[in-house]
């Protein structure tokens, strides 16, 4: 399902999302990538966001208009860096709502029990699925 730039951006502002997308660089193997990402400043600027996700606020905007190119700039939870992803080729896998304290607590439990326990090889396999 194709997402609009605005729709994907708004979803990332209020949640953490798992998605799959087609890479813009067609020479990359595999041609698709799976990602957990967000733009939720409440999560990213929290102690857990800074210490566990290694969040670093951007120092500048990209040197191009990301939205005009159909891209949304997000924080990649696995790679722990900013990434520009093409909205039109995104397929939502899962949405972790982060609006309430309870939803945030549930996500961090999932993170501790599943994501935080993954080895580097398991993270690479996850991103290739």
Residue 2 — very low, low, confident or very high, per pLDDT cuts 50/70/90?
low
Predicted model pTM: 0.90
Q: What is the pLDDT of residue 103?
A: 94
Question: Between these two residues, 9 and 2, which has the higher pLDDT value?
Answer: 9
Q: What is the pLDDT of residue 12?
A: 96
Residue pLDDT, tens place only, 72-124? 999 999 999 999 999 999 999 999 999 999 999 999 999 999 988 999 999 98
Q: What is the pLDDT of residue 28?
A: 77
Residue pLDDT, tens place only, 27-84? 778 888 999 999 999 999 999 999 999 999 988 888 999 999 999 999 999 999 999 9
Distances (CA, A) of 17 to 68, 84, 97, 98: 22, 14, 8, 10
Q: What is the pLDDT of residue 14?
A: 96
Distance CA 69, CA 103 (A): 33
């Amino acid at each position: 399902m194709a997402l609009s730039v605005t729709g994907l951006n708004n979803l990332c502002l209020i949640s953490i999302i798992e998605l799959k997308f087609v890479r813009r660089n067609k020479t990359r193997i595999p041609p698709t990538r799976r990602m957990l990402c967000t733009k939720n400043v409440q999560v990213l600027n929290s102690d857990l966001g800074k210490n566990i996700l290694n969040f670093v606020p951007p120092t500048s905007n990209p040197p191009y208009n990301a939205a005009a190119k159909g891209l949304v700039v997000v924080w990649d939870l696995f790679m722990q860096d900013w990434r520009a992803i093409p909205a039109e080729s995104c397929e939502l896998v899962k949405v972790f709502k982060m609006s309430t304290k309870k939803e945030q607590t549930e996500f961090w439990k999932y993170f501790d029990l599943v994501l935080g326990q993954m080895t580097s090889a398991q993270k690479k396999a996850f991103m290739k699925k």
